[in-house]
Structure 1
Amino acid sequence: MATSTAVATMPSASLPAVGAVDPSDVMMNHLQEVLLLNSDPISLLNSFEGDDFLEQLAPVVEDAVNANAVDLLVDRLATITAQKETEVQELCNSNQQEYTKAVHQLAKVKQNSEQMLSSVLEINQSIQKSGRAFVARNKMLKDSQGAKNNIDDATTALHQCLKVLHMTNQVYDMIEQKKYFQALKNLDDLQRNHLQEVAQFDFAQRIRHSVPLMKDTIKQDVISDLAVWLQSVHEVASQIGMIAFSSTEVRRRKWKAKADKDPHLRFYKLNSAVELAMEQDDDDEKFDPLDNAHIKVDLTPFYDCILIYTALGSLNEFREQYEYDRVKDTERLLPQSINFTDDDISPLENLLHGACGFAIVERATVRMAYKVRTAESVDRLWESMCQRIADLIDPVLQTLHNPETLLRVRTLLGLFIQTMESFEFSVVRLQSFMLSLFGKYSDFLKQRFAQEFNQSVMEDDYMPMVINQRELWEQVVNISWYQADIDPSNVTFPCILPFSQVYPLCCAELRNFVNQHYNFSDEFTEQNPGQIESTLRSSVDQLLVDVVCATLLTRLKSSNREEIVQIFINLEYFESAASAIERTLNETSSIHLPEPIKLDAVSEFARARKNAEQRIFELINSKIDDFLEIAEYDWETTTENSNPSSYLIDMVRFLETLVNQTLVNLPQSITSFLYFDAFDHLATSMLELILNAGRRISKPALHNFDRDVHYVEMFVQDLGQPENSRSTSTALSTFSPRNAKNRSTSVNGAAPEDPMLLRHRSTDDDGDNSLLTTFTELRQTINLLLSSNIEEYNNTEVRMRKYGRVKPQNAMVLVEKLHAAPATPSRARRLYRGRGN
């Protein structure tokens, strides 16, 4: 109760004034709350021994410090302690008997504790005594165990050292046995694992330092083995190429056999998509030029190099070095120059075999080790090889003189191209070179053709070809694109063909020329068919135009009429041959042409025929002019001749020979043109003779001239009759003075039944295109001069009927000359002043 009162009075003694809160009051209130929680003295004493009271008191101390009231707190605690001690004393005084009993019990417990301590000490001494022996034995055991561990460690280290040494020896043995990858693997295992276990030993450090050297040794050895392998491959490269060539040749024969059975396959070459698809359908196993019954190329050294350099992390180094070495190998493979001749092309064959084998090995390395040999690097190397091969061959081609050698070179190159194409190599550069070779071959053929054709032209007799045997006739007909007009079975011998022997000889050479081109182009793939066709067409066309046609045109300068006529006939058949060749080129084309092939030679031969025709005209007219130059007329003569002029008789004989012999083989259309041209020229020239006569023309001179013209007219009329009824003598017999006189009378209109007059009237009136029309103007002019009534010319109706072709100026000039003596020129002008009306 007293405690409660004391506690209760403490706060009131220290309360501050109202309205102000003193921090010390807060602290004291907090302390009072703590003490109130443990108001029981026993509980309070017990609480002093625990941590909870301190935790409760800590805030009070903190408040005292903060309030700067530590002294107050101490005083307060001292007061409370004194109070609590008084309370405890009072409590003890009330419970003294229990306390005394407790003290006795504690004393007894203490005695027992001392006895127990003594026992424990005795036990401890006993344990310590026995423990010393145990410790000694334990120490001995530990020492023994350490020695054993040391021995074990030494044994383990010794085994590890022996293992490292053994593995090192194995590495050297494997290097000697060329087991490079296993050696490198063991070396890597040794370096990564086992050397670490014996790193404390000096020999391990030495081995560690020798590892790079051993790796370099492996690298050098594997490169040396690769060099040996490459040398061995270089030695068998030619054999590899030869075997590959043989395989391609077998494929070519098989494909040709298939193409012969199926004509549609001729448009597709070897290695085309169609050929490859059909080849896959065959049961034959695909041929490997590197692994067959004749040769086996082991690529192991190459793969070992890749494996070793990959393991060493130096694959890029190997790739660059290998590519550089392969470039050097091509330089050693392809010589600086090559020499082959018309008699021996084996050096070229060996060159192509070696290049083929080398490239095949390169392609194999790409397929099996694409990380080292890429297709791009091999293709670059191949392109350089192709260029080098072309550069080696091209100069030698200039020294060759035999087209057959070029054909053999073509066969080799074609086989080479098809072989390399089957191994997926680009052959564009080689195809381009083949086109160049094709051009050279064509030039050779053209040169040889030109030589042989010129020889044939020089030896030709320019006469129709006479055949005495059927076999020869059949050969000539078959080779000359000649269509006989009769059934071959009805041909009798000797047989005369219209062309001369130069034509069939040239046709044979032309066929051979075209066939040789086709044989050459068989080696080409389908990559350049248009260029092949273009080159062939150009070559054939150039040959026909520049050699055949040009040579024949040159021969047209000859003055030999028979030769010119025969050349004209030959040109006609050459034109037909050019058309036939044009059809052949279109039919045998290996590609589908957008438009048909057209040869300029067809039109050139047609133009040459026109030139030959013109040349015949010129020669005939020139000969006619020669006769006319010797014509002598006395235009003022008073004597009439009984026969035509001698120059005209010779001219008619010449024309008769020309018609019956020289021009007999010409087509009827051509002979008609020739006759028209010749007789028109003759009529015009004879008209010029009379127009260019002197000042006066006498009647007898006019009759003599009329006789000459009529003589020519009879010959011209006789050309239209059958050959067996032609006779110049008949025409001569009709000419007598009497007939001439009667004819003159009939011209005046007294005898209209005169056949010549009837003929002239019919041709003039009816517009007939017979040969006599060429003399119409001359005949009408002579009839006008012989007419007894010249004034009728002024009558338009009569003039148009009788003298429609006579020009007024010519009529005026001739009438003046005819009447020069009895009539003056002024009278003649007045007589014909109305001609233009």
Structure 2
Amino acid sequence: MAEFDIQQLVLVSDATNDAENLEHLGPAMKEVYRNNKMKPFLDQLAMFIQRKEIEIERMCNSNYQDFVQSVDRLLSVRQGTVDLKNKINVLNTDVQQAGISLAKKKHELIESKRILENIAAATETLKSCVHFLDLANRVNVQVENRKYYSALRIVDEIQAIHLKSVIQFEFARHMQDCIPILQQAIKDAVITEMRAWLASVRSKQKVIGELAMDRMLQRQQRWRERATMGLKLRSAHNVNSAVEAAVNEENEVDLMDLEAFDIDFRPLYQCLHIFDELGLRAELKVNFAEDRHAQAKSTLSSQNCIKDRNIEGFKSLLQDIIGFFIIEHVIMHSTINFRTQSQSYNYPVHQLNDLLLTLFRTYTDQLEAKFSFNFKKLMDDDEYKPMTVDSQGEYDILQSAFTFNEDDDAARQGFPRTLPFSKVVPYCCEDIRSFVTQFYKFIEGFKQEQNELDELVKDSLDTLLIQHVHSVLLKKLESQNLSQIAQIIVNLEYFQNACGDFEHLLANSRSTSDTSKIDLQATGLFRETRRNAESRISDLIKSKINDVLELAEYEWMAPEVREVSTYIEELEPLLSAVLFAQLHNLPETIKKHVYADAFNHLATTLHGILTDPNVTQVNLNFVATFDKDIRRLEDFGQALNEPRVQDTFTGLRQLTALLMSDHTDDPEIRERMYPLVRPEDLNRMLEKLSNSPTPTTPQEKTGRRWDGMLRGWGQRSS
């Protein structure tokens, strides 16, 4: 302690009232004790005493009395110091006891605080762990409750916030490793639910398709009603065209409103949202596309109903397909950047196209079968007679079935009126028009990429006309009945003309913008068959003529000249029946051709009979009778009013006239008056006349002159 402190203590001890100054001594001693300076203090005190003793001794030497007094005082101070020391020791002991107790209590307090802090920290840690585990458990609960977005948010919260505070624990590190597993579990759960939703939609798409078909049927019916009310729109604008959509806008019902079918798209939207949150939209797009592709393949692959002609099965299949694509349409337009148009509609639809084409072919087959049945019945019921129309109404119905023209005289006739064709023609044409109309009604609303359906109906119509109409008519042409064949020729001509109407009908009905000309193969086939039928008539007439002439008995050496031969008496009514009765319904152009062909054949045959080299002898009576026969046939031909028929026998008649004349030996007269006579025919006939026996009648005697003529003719010919 500093000397000042020693002096201070001395001053204190020197005081007369220790009690008053005790409070000053206490702090000083306490300071000495607190600073653990007791020994320095004692050392300083000893030094202080020593100095004082020296000082006292010096003072005593100078002033003994003062010294004695000082000693006394010093002793007094010393005694006071001893007392002070004892007090200090007692005070120190008391302070030490109090300090130990206080320190112990303080230590206990500090330890208690530390324990409390540890308990609080442990409590907070346990709370964090419990909350962490509770969150982890809530993930599973949310997934079980199908609250996938909440579960995903909890996983994100665990990973971003709570995991950091408990990462020092083993279970937290394990939980950190399980975060991807939890996310995968959420992803699997949400995609499982989405696929279950897809399966449920698959079961409901048939109902959607059924409603769509019903509404489309109503829409088509409204359009047909408008078309029949004079709007004249249907031929240029089909159902689903812009014009039709605008006209029917106020009546249109949104097929995309699927609330009536209890279809909730939230599983899909939820799945899309979760995958977006996970950053896996691309993966979902691929998975969803694969699932829908599988469903499309399953939907489009059921074609047995077409093969089995199961109408209800096909109707169900078609409803399924329509419902499928309606759902695709809704998905595409209710999501963003999820399903593109190419994904929603660019399925490999070759199976669907094949199915639809098979359907359309099947439908055309059914229409063909129905038409074939009706046509055969019409042919069986047909009388092969010109059709009679009793009223203007019936006539108008026929005109609507197919176009036919009448000449002015026929048009001025009243009713009943006879038309050239038989009743099979208009009824058949009406069935053909119905065939085309029903087909296009069946495909109404179907958009063709090309004109494959137009080609299909064209080919089917050609098949119908060729394999049914034409083949039946061709079979009927094998008949021997000329009137029936004549009527078939007339019918063939009208069928040929009707093909132009059918081509026009196809061009107006087709559902594409194709403007190319339509040519039916049946047109040329009907034309060719009609020509063959004309030849068939000519052949039959020739055959009938041949039958008469082959059975005829010719009097080569006739005893007299007859007015007409027996075979002419038989041939004339035959020609009358054939040409005037059985062929009266033929068109004039065909009639003239048939008449000319028949008379040419008759003239050729008679010429062959007259000049037959197997007949070596004839007399002039036969020639004269033969000449009358020819004139009789010419008179018959006059009634036909056909110049080609009238001139048919000119050459033959010139030969007979020359044989009976006196000009056989005069070349100039012969060439001028008989230019059509061939020298070889005249030569042959002269030989036959010269070979006849000695004449017994005036005619025969006249005929003997042919000997000299023949010889002269032979010399001039050489």
* TM-score bucket (shorter structure): 0.7 to 0.9
SS at match of 2:388: strand
Quote the residue 2:126 is aligned against: 161
Quote the residue 2:655 is aligned against: 781
| CA distance 1:449–1:153, change in 2 (3 Å) | same
SS at match of 1:496: strand
Alignment of 1:562-581 (within 5 A): 562-581=483-502
* Distance of 1:564 and 1:255 partners within structure 2: 46
* Distance of 1:237 and 1:588 partners within structure 2: 32
Quote the residue 2:578 is aligned against: 658
Which residue type is aligned with residue 533 of structure 1?
Answer: D
Which residue type is aligned with residue 577 of structure 1?
Answer: A
Quote the residue 1:508 is aligned against: 430
Quote the residue 2:81 is aligned against: none
* Distance of 1:324 and 1:783 partners within structure 2: 100
Does structure 1 residue 831 correspond to structure 2 residue 699? no
* Distance of 2:379 and 2:309 partners within structure 1: 31
Quote the residue 1:803 is aligned against: 674
Taking structure 1 as the reference length, the TM-score comes to 0.64
SS at match of 1:151: helix
Deviation (angstroms), 1:434: 2.3
Quote the residue 2:688 is aligned against: 817
Q: Do the aligned partners of 1:240 and 1:289 also contact (CA within 8 Å) in 2?
A: no
SS at match of 2:608: helix
State the percentage of identical aligned residues. Answer: 28
Q: Do the aligned partners of 2:235 and 2:509 also contact (CA within 8 Å) in 1?
A: no
Which whole-Å deviations, capped at 9, do the CAs of 1:168-217 have from their partners, x for residues lacking one?
32553452544333233334433443344345567656766776775566
SS at match of 1:774: coil
Which residue type is aligned with residue 185 of structure 1?
Answer: R
Q: Do the aligned partners of 1:161 and 1:198 also contact (CA within 8 Å) in 2?
A: no
Does structure 1 residue 681 correspond to structure 2 residue 552? no
| CA distance 1:146–1:826, change in 2 (3 Å) | farther
Deviation (angstroms), 1:827: 6.3
* Distance of 1:119 and 1:158 partners within structure 2: 60
* Match among 565, 585, 603 for residue 524 of structure 2: 603
| CA distance 1:544–1:314, change in 2 (3 Å) | closer
| CA distance 1:309–1:611, change in 2 (3 Å) | closer
SS at match of 2:261: coil
Deviation (angstroms), 1:278: 4.6
* Distance of 1:554 and 1:130 partners within structure 2: 147
Deviation (angstroms), 1:788: 1.6
* Distance of 2:374 and 2:683 partners within structure 1: 62
Deviation (angstroms), 1:223: 5.2
Q: Do the aligned partners of 1:243 and 1:289 also contact (CA within 8 Å) in 2?
A: no
Quote the residue 2:75 is aligned against: none
Alignment of 1:420-819 (within 5 A): 429-430=352-353, 432-468=354-390, 471-485=393-407, 491-528=413-450, 530-641=451-562, 643-692=563-612, 694-720=615-641, 769-792=643-666, 794-795=667-668, 798-819=669-690
Quote the residue 2:266 is aligned against: 300
* Match among 161, 184, 188 for residue 152 of structure 2: 184
Alignment of 1:259-278 (within 5 A): 263=232, 266-271=235-240, 274=242, 278=246
Q: Do the aligned partners of 1:469 and 1:493 also contact (CA within 8 Å) in 2?
A: yes
Q: Do the aligned partners of 2:238 and 2:244 also contact (CA within 8 Å) in 1?
A: no
Deviation (angstroms), 1:808: 1.0
| CA distance 1:164–1:453, change in 2 (3 Å) | same
* Distance of 2:305 and 2:427 partners within structure 1: 36
Alignment of 1:215-254 (within 5 A): 218=186, 221-222=189-190, 225-226=193-194, 228-246=196-214, 248-249=216-217, 252=220
Instruction: Select between 827-836 and 460-469 the one with higher mean Cα deviation.
Output: 827-836
| CA distance 1:307–1:599, change in 2 (3 Å) | closer
Which whole-Å deviations, capped at 9, do the CAs of 1:354-404 have from their partners, x for residues lacking one?
444445445555566677767776667x43xx56xx5xxxxxxxxxxxxxx
Deviation (angstroms), 1:316: 7.1
Q: Do the aligned partners of 1:556 and 1:564 also contact (CA within 8 Å) in 2?
A: yes
Which residue type is aligned with residue 819 of structure 1?
Answer: S
| CA distance 1:222–1:791, change in 2 (3 Å) | closer
Deviation (angstroms), 1:323: 5.8
SS at match of 2:480: coil
* Distance of 1:696 and 1:488 partners within structure 2: 55
**Where in structure 1 are there 5+ consecutive unaligned residues?**
1-113, 391-428, 721-767
Which whole-Å deviations, capped at 9, do the CAs of 1:461-503 have from their partners, x for residues lacking one?
2222334455444434543433344589954444332222322
Q: Do the aligned partners of 1:171 and 1:183 also contact (CA within 8 Å) in 2?
A: no
* Distance of 2:634 and 2:122 partners within structure 1: 142
* Distance of 1:508 and 1:565 partners within structure 2: 23
Which residue type is aligned with residue 155 of structure 1?
Answer: A
| CA distance 1:152–1:354, change in 2 (3 Å) | farther
* Distance of 1:694 and 1:285 partners within structure 2: 93
Q: Do the aligned partners of 2:440 and 2:509 also contact (CA within 8 Å) in 1?
A: no
Does structure 1 residue 151 correspond to structure 2 residue 107? no
Alignment of 1:60-209 (within 5 A): 129-130=33-34, 144=109, 147-148=112-113, 151-173=116-138, 174-175=141-142, 176-199=144-167
Q: Do the aligned partners of 2:306 and 2:358 also contact (CA within 8 Å) in 1?
A: no
Deviation (angstroms), 1:835: 5.5
Which whole-Å deviations, capped at 9, do the CAs of 1:75-114 have from their partners, x for residues lacking one?
xxxxxxxxxxxxxxxxxxxxxxxxxxxxxxxxxxxxxxx9
* Distance of 1:595 and 1:315 partners within structure 2: 49
Deviation (angstroms), 1:347: 3.6
Q: Do the aligned partners of 1:639 and 1:700 also contact (CA within 8 Å) in 2?
A: yes
Which residue type is aligned with residue 615 of structure 2?
Answer: G
| CA distance 1:128–1:783, change in 2 (3 Å) | farther
**Where in structure 2 are there 5+ consecutive unaligned residues?**
11-26, 37-94, 693-703
Which residue type is aligned with residue 655 of structure 2?
Answer: T
Taking structure 2 as the reference length, the TM-score comes to 0.73
| CA distance 1:340–1:700, change in 2 (3 Å) | closer
SS at match of 2:606: helix
For the aligned residues, what is the CA RMSD? 4.4
Aligned residues between the structures = 624
| CA distance 1:826–1:146, change in 2 (3 Å) | farther
Deviation (angstroms), 1:613: 1.4
Q: Do the aligned partners of 2:155 and 2:179 also contact (CA within 8 Å) in 1?
A: yes
Which whole-Å deviations, capped at 9, do the CAs of 1:14-39 have from their partners, x for residues lacking one?
xxxxxxxxxxxxxxxxxxxxxxxxxx
* Distance of 1:234 and 1:778 partners within structure 2: 91
* Distance of 1:599 and 1:286 partners within structure 2: 42
Which whole-Å deviations, capped at 9, do the CAs of 1:417-476 have from their partners, x for residues lacking one?
xxxxxxxxxxxx43x432332223223322332333233223322222334455444434
Alignment of 1:269-288 (within 5 A): 269-271=238-240, 274=242, 278=246, 287=254
Which whole-Å deviations, capped at 9, do the CAs of 1:556-582 have from their partners, x for residues lacking one?
222222222222222222222223223
Q: Do the aligned partners of 2:240 and 2:445 also contact (CA within 8 Å) in 1?
A: no
* Distance of 1:535 and 1:359 partners within structure 2: 26
Q: Do the aligned partners of 1:170 and 1:183 also contact (CA within 8 Å) in 2?
A: no
Which residue type is aligned with residue 552 of structure 1?
Answer: L
Deviation (angstroms), 1:265: 6.6
Instruction: Select between 326-335 and 807-816 the one with higher mean Cα deviation.
Output: 326-335
Instruction: Select between 821-830 and 608-617 the one with higher mean Cα deviation.
Output: 821-830
Q: Do the aligned partners of 2:489 and 2:530 also contact (CA within 8 Å) in 1?
A: yes
Instruction: Select between 689-698 and 226-235 the one with higher mean Cα deviation.
Output: 226-235
